[in-house]
């Protein structure tokens, strides 16, 4: 008959507990009940401990009954807890008000990345000089990147630029913006004044070289264009960019697509030409490559090279930016460290 009294008592415990849980008025009350019933010294826990004093035969049934009660109490507790939580949140939302008169938190101004800022400045200067902006593909063919720019198949000039090949050599990542000259010449008719800014790629990486960098190409084709026009345009440009006191120096150089070719230096921005660490004591900094467009390039796009002549130039944007802002490691321009880029 002991069984019956145990189960009678259990039933009572269960219904009393559930009733208490149902009337718990807060999260706090629910928690107190949980400790009272299921805590280490709780009603259910202490009953579970007495199971060991029962006989082998009684134990399974009594254990199962006790566990069933424990489960329904746990379930009731968690349901009550979640409805109390909802109730408390709702009450809080009703009680608290959103103060629309509080001043907002200020959001800092955004800025331009130095590469973008320099790019925009250069484009602006050349647009004022009558050049229009054209873009070309970054994935190129050997034909556009080299052949039509007068690089012969076996010419050592090809080795000047270590090229990233893709599609098993069928395509390459352009090593300079000069192939845009070809695209633009094929698409338009002379006279032409074009600039082509964009990304270029070379297998190269150290503190002044990055495998991806930016160039700005410029070229002008018309009747009777000569080297004097090229010098004039570049001088105007450099004076706008670095100020009227900046000097230019043209050194003979070689590019397959220009003849004659020159490399252009500007007087060092850091020491005004006196000689310093940045210009390695020379007072000059190389800034761009330029020259008269080789007649072979004009012929390759079907232009009459007797009738039309032109000049072209190309410069690295990173180099211009590094000189302008006195940045000595190109990698700073790509790391996007907010402490670095927010200085510009």
Binding site for ligand PHE (CB under 6 A): 176, 178, 217, 255, 258, 289-291, 312-314
Least separation in angstroms between CB 262 and ligand PHE: 8
d(Cα 253, Cα 292) in Å, to the nearest integer? Answer: 12
Least separation in angstroms between CB 281 and ligand PHE: 24
Q: Nearer to ligand PHE by C-beta: 217 or 265?
A: 217
Least separation in angstroms between CB 259 and ligand PHE: 10
d(Cα 265, Cα 290) in Å, to the nearest integer? Answer: 11
d(Cα 267, Cα 282) in Å, to the nearest integer? Answer: 9
Q: Nearer to ligand PHE by C-beta: 21 or 230?
A: 230
Q: Which residue is nearest to ligand PHE (CB)?
A: 314
d(Cα 187, Cα 166) in Å, to the nearest integer? Answer: 26
Closest by alpha carbon to 301, among 110, 150, 152? 150
Q: Nearer to ligand PHE by C-beta: 114 or 291?
A: 291
Q: Nearer to ligand PHE by C-beta: 29 or 259?
A: 259
Q: Which two tokens stand for residue 226?
A: 């000569």
Least separation in angstroms between CB 295 and ligand PHE: 15
Instruction: Please answer whether residues 340 and 321 qualify as being in contact, where contact means their C-beta atoms are separated by less than 8 angstroms.
Output: no
Packing angle of the helix pair 114-128, 227-242 (nearest 10 deg): 130
Burial level of 286, CB count in 10 A (0-12/13-18/19+)?
Answer: middle
Least separation in angstroms between CB 311 and ligand PHE: 8
Instruction: Please answer whether residues 290 and 230 qualify as being in contact, where contact means their C-beta atoms are separated by less than 8 angstroms.
Output: yes
Q: Nearer to ligand PHE by C-beta: 33 or 292?
A: 292
Least separation in angstroms between CB 290 and ligand PHE: 5
Could you give the 3-state DSSP secondary structure of residue 36? helix
Q: Nearer to ligand PHE by C-beta: 37 or 149?
A: 149
């Amino acid at each position: 008959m002991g069984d019956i009294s145990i189960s009678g008592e259990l039933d009572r415990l269960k219904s009393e507990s559930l009733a208490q849980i149902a009337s718990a008025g807060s999260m706090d009350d629910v928690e107190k009940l949980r400790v009272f019933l299921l805590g280490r010294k709780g009603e259910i826990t202490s009953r579970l401990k007495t199971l060991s004093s029962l006989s082998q035969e009684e134990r399974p049934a009594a254990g199962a009954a006790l566990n069933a009660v424990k489960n329904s109490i746990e379930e009731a507790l968690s349901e009550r807890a979640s409805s109390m939580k909802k109730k408390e949140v709702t009450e809080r939302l009703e009680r608290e008000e959103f103060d629309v008169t509080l001043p907002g938190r200020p959001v800092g101004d955004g800025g331009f990345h130095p590469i973008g800022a320099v790019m925009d400045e250069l484009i602006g200067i050349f647009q004022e000089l009558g050049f229009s902006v054209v873009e070309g593909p970054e994935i190129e063919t050997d034909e556009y990147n080299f052949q039509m720019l007068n690089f012969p198949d076996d010419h050592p000039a090809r080795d000047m630029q270590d090229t990233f090949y893709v599609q098993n050599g069928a395509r390459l990542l352009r090593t300079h913006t000069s192939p845009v000259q070809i695209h633009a010449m094929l698409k338009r008719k002379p006279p032409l004044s074009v600039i082509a800014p964009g990304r270029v790629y070379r297998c190269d990486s150290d503190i002044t070289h990055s495998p991806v960098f930016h160039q700005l190409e410029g070229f002008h084709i018309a009747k009777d264009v000569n080297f004097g026009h090229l010098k004039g345009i570049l001088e105007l440009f450099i004076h706008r960019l670095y100020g009227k006191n900046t000097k230019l120096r043209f050194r003979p150089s070689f590019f397959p697509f220009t003849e004659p070719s020159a490399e252009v230096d500007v007087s060092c921005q850091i020491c005004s030409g006196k000689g310093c660490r940045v210009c390695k004591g020379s007072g000059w900094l190389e800034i761009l490559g330029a020259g008269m467009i080789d007649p072979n390039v004009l012929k390759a796009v079907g232009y009459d090279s007797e009738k039309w002549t032109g000049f072209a130039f190309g410069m690295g944007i990173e180099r211009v930016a590094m000189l302008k802002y006195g940045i000595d490691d190109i990698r700073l321009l790509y790391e996007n460290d907010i402490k670095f880029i927010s200085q510009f």
